[in-house]
Amino acid sequence: AQRVTQPEKLLSVFKGAPVELKCNYSYSGSPELFWYVQYSRQRLQLLLRHISRESIKGFTADLNKGETSFHLKKPFAQEEDSAMYYCALSDSWGKLQFGAGTQVVVTP
């Protein structure tokens, strides 16, 4: 069965410190993985997807098929990174399965 696990409900980091949000998945086929972000009072939006292999707002995420993980990382957290982050897995039809989400709080 398809599953996305985000083990941390809340991640509190200091400004300038590295931040890593964990995401593990289970999927029988070739996975398509995404990170979506929801800033306060804004709608949910795409942050990045693994097929793009890009860095957005300093964030990167590497798909590790051996460990079935897609962790999100940023070397130096900023206060504007405070938000709710969701890892999501797309099935072959394009339906998204979301993880429970990780709330990131960056304190100055």
Residue 40 φ then ψ, to 5°: -55, 130
- Pick 17 or 46: Cβ nearer other proteins: 46
Question: Of the candidates 59, 67, 68, which has an alpha carbon nearest to the alpha carbon of residue 89?
Answer: 68
Strand partners, 69: 24, 64
Given 45, 55, 64, 107, the residue binding other proteins (CB under 8 A): 45
Dist. CA 12–CA 82, nearest whole Å:
9
x/- binding map, residues 51-70, to other proteins, per CB under 8 A? Answer: x-------------------
**Using rule CB under 8 A, residue 43 touches other proteins:** yes
| Contact yes or no for 48/35 (Cβ under 8 A) | yes
Q: Among 15-23, 37-45, 60-68, 74-82, which window interacts with other proteins (CB under 8 A)?
A: 37-45
Percent of the chain that is helix, strand, coil (3-state, to 5): 5, 50, 45
- Pick 78 or 84: Cβ nearer other proteins: 84
**Using rule CB under 8 A, residue 27 touches other proteins:** no
Interaction site with other proteins (CB under 8 A): 4, 6, 9, 32, 34, 43-46, 49, 51, 86, 90-101
